[in-house]
Amino acid sequence: MERLETKGIGAPVAAPKGARSATEGAGAGATATVEVVAKARRRRFSAEYKARILREADACAGSGQIGALLRREGLYSSHLTTWRGHRARGALEALAVKKRGKKPARDARDRELARLARENARLRRKLAQAEAVIEVQKKLSEILGIPLDSPGRDESEE
């Protein structure tokens, strides 16, 4: 008996002799169960877990052992790469789970410090601009031959 299979949309196509269907070897009435999660959740790994996996990966000597470890734990090779980089930069603290998202609000002291730093930078820019204007005025008065009063003299002293 020849089986017919469909390719995409359209008429059935004859399957090659000896080919098996997807459910043929699984037994009668076998269905594949696939769990579909409504919303994917980001996995979080503790620092101890990361350190344990890195120790196990470092202990792997034979060919394919790291792959077997990754399959057993459900991890990707990029996890190992990232965790090794974190470990090289700062040991266990770097492996700790970092909270994602918006950072917590700063306290009043931090806000005041930031405000004062901005004001200081603004005043420094303003001072540099004023000094540049004074230098231009000095050069202009020198070119025009206008004598400048000394900074210590006041008009009321004349």
**Least confident stretch, 76-85, 87-96, 115-124, 132-141:** 87-96
76: tokens are 């990707």
Nearest-Å Rg of the Cα atoms of the chain is 38
pLDDT in tens, 96-128: 666 777 777 778 888 899 999 999 999 999 999
Are 97 and 82 in contact, with CB atoms under 8 Å apart? no
What is the C-alpha to C-alpha distance for residues 67 and 83, in angstroms, rounded to an integer?
Answer: 16
Bridge partners (DSSP) of residue 14 are 4
* Phi, psi (deg, nearest 5) at residue 133: -65, -40
